[in-house]
Amino acid sequence: MLQLVDSVLFKINDNSRDLLLVLPGSLREVAMQLHHYIQGVARIKAKLKEKFY
């Protein structure tokens, strides 16, 4: 089921009833690149915290 909230389209997660942002196909590649970058930054920070104070 889809729901419009303040002109933004969401899909309602069937299991948890959480709202999932509906991402247009034209933005999916950008979203994947950003997600990969953010995950990489988080791993780097974790490694640095292991070695430095």
Residue 11, pLDDT score: 92
Nearest in space to 20 (alpha carbons), one of 28, 10, 8? 10
Residue 36 lies in a domain: yes
In whole angstroms, give the CA distance from residue 25 to residue 32: 11
Higher per-residue confidence, 3 vs 52: 3
53 pLDDT more than 80:
no
Domain extent at residue 33: 25-53
The predicted structure's pLDDT at residue 50: 84
- In a domain? residue 18: no
Question: Does a structural domain hold residue 14?
Answer: no
The string of pLDDT tens digits covering residues 1-51 is 999 999 999 999 888 889 999 989 999 899 889 888 888 889 888 888 888
Q: Do the domain assignments include residue 2?
A: no
